Amino acid sequence: MEAIPARACCKFVGEGRANVVFSITGADGHLNLQGQLLRVPKQTSNAYPYSRLQQYWETEVLPRFGPQDLVQQRLVRLPSEKAFFERLNQQLHMLDARGLRRRDFMGQTVSFHVQYGMLVDDMRAETARHGPSTMHEIKPKWLAQSPRAPRGAHQCRNCARELWRNMKNKTRTQVFCPLNLVKAADFPDEDRVAADVGAALIRCHNVPEAEARILTAWLRTCTLFKRLRRVQWENDHRADIKDEGGYCLAMTLRDCSLFVVAPTKPDVKPHEVVAKLGDMDMKNFAAKKEYWSRMEQEFHDSGVYWNDTALARATTDCQLPFYKARRDLSDELRRYYVDT
C-alpha cells in the first residue's frame, strides 16, 4: 500500500460531515500521489472505517459503472508521526478563528488515531488537463420517484424534501428538480425540453447562459444519469423496505456527487465535458433507518408532495408532472414516474 510521506504538505480543500479533504504537495518522487486529493476522517465521525468503505466501493459500486464514470479512490497509509496530524488540525483551527467554516463544523478536527486515508482523483477546475475549465458539483438525488411517495403526488421526492426545508427554515431558496438531469437525455430531439433544462440551471444555480448551453448540450448526450436512475430504482422500487443492502445502495447513489468539468473555450463539444461520480460511501442502515423513516413521515404529514401552496409554486418547478402528462413514455419511464 502506498504511504503519505511524513514531510508532505497538505493544504485544506474542503470538508463534509465525516471527512476533510486536502491537496498534497512536497511529495516529490511519489508520482502516484500526483493528481490526487487526500481524504481523512474526522475525530467525531461515527462512519464506517475506510477499509470497509473501500471494500464496499470496489464490490458494490464499481461493478455497476464504467471506470470512466467514477472518481477513482484507493486506500493510502498515513504517517504515524503526531506532527503530521497536528499540521492538518492547525489549518482547521485557523479556519475556525477566521469564521470560515460552517457553524456545525466548527471545532471538529482530524483524528490522530487512524492508519489509513483515502486518495481520490482531483476534479478541481484548476487541475483540468485540457486548459481553463469550470467545475460544477451536482447532487443527483432521487432520479426516480420514491416508491413511498403518496399516490398521485405532484412533486418528486427531492422537490418535496427541498420544499420542506424551505418551510422549516422560512427561506425561499429556488429548487432545482433533479429530473432535469435525465429529461434532456430522455427527449434529446426536443429543443423545447433542452431550453427548459438550461433555464432551470440558470435560475437555480446561477449558471451563466453560455455555460448553461454547454451543460444542456452535454446532458442531451449523457447516459450516466439514466444508468444511475436505473440502479437507484432497481435497488429501491418497493414501498416496503425488504432488501436492506439494496436500499442502502440506492441511498448511497442518491447522496453521491457528480463532478462535471467543462472547458471554457468557445464551441465546446459535449464529448469534451468530463463527468465522474464520487462520494459514494456506504450508508449505515442501523444508524439511518429511523431518521429516513421519520423524514418520510414528515414529508407526508406536511403535504410537501403536493404543489398546492404559494411557497411551493414560488420555489419549485418539479418535472414530475411533465413526465406524467406525456403520452409517449416508454415502459421504463412509466415505471419511474407514473402511478400504477
Residue 28: what pLDDT? 79
Average pLDDT over residues 200-225: 94
Q: Identify the H or E element spanning 138.
A: strand 133-138
Taking the C-alpha atoms of residue 328 and residue 132, their distance in angstroms, rounded to an integer, is 41
What does the DSSP 8-state code read for residue 121?
Answer: E
- Residue 264 and residue 132 in contact, taking contact as beta carbons nearer than 8 Å: yes
Query: Taking the CB of residue 194, how many other CB atoms lie within 10 A of it?
Result: 19
Cell triple for 254: 442518491
Question: Which one has a higher pLDDT value, 133 or 156?
Answer: 156
258: nearest Cα among 230, 279, 273: 279
Average model confidence (pLDDT) for the chain? Answer: 93
> What are the boundaries of each domain within the chain?
9-122, 133-337
- Residue 72 and residue 120 in contact, taking contact as beta carbons nearer than 8 Å: yes
Residue 314: what pLDDT? 95
Q: Above 90 in pLDDT, residue 308?
A: no
Residue 1: what pLDDT? 87
Q: Above 70 in pLDDT, residue 129?
A: no
CATH 3.40.50.300 for domain 9-122, yes or no, is no
Distance of CA 141 to the CA centre of its chain: 7
Spatial CB neighbours of 157, under 8 Å, sequence gap ≥ 6:
141, 142, 145, 146, 149, 299
Residue 34: what pLDDT? 86
Taking the C-alpha atoms of residue 160 and residue 317, their distance in angstroms, rounded to an integer, is 11
Taking the C-alpha atoms of residue 334 and residue 336, their distance in angstroms, rounded to an integer, is 5
What distances in angstroms separate CA 53 from CA 40, 73, 144, 169, one per listed residue? Answer: 12, 10, 26, 33
pTM over 0.85: yes
Average pLDDT over residues 169-197: 97
- Residue 305 and residue 149 in contact, taking contact as beta carbons nearer than 8 Å: yes
- Residue 21 and residue 39 in contact, taking contact as beta carbons nearer than 8 Å: yes
What does the DSSP 8-state code read for residue 59?
Answer: I
Residue recorded with cell 455497476? 64
Give tens-digit pLDDT for 23-66.
998 887 888 898 899 999 998 767 789 999 999 999 999 999 98
Give tens-digit pLDDT for 82-104.
999 999 999 999 999 999 999 99
Q: Above 90 in pLDDT, residue 338?
A: yes
Q: What percent of the chain is modeled with pLDDT above 90? A: 80
Cell triple for 297: 413521515
Average pLDDT over residues 209-233: 95
Spatial CB neighbours of 127, under 8 Å, sequence gap ≥ 6:
35
Buried b / exposed e over 251-283, threshold 16 CB at 10 Å, is bbbbebbbbbbbbeeeebeeeebbbbbbbbbbb
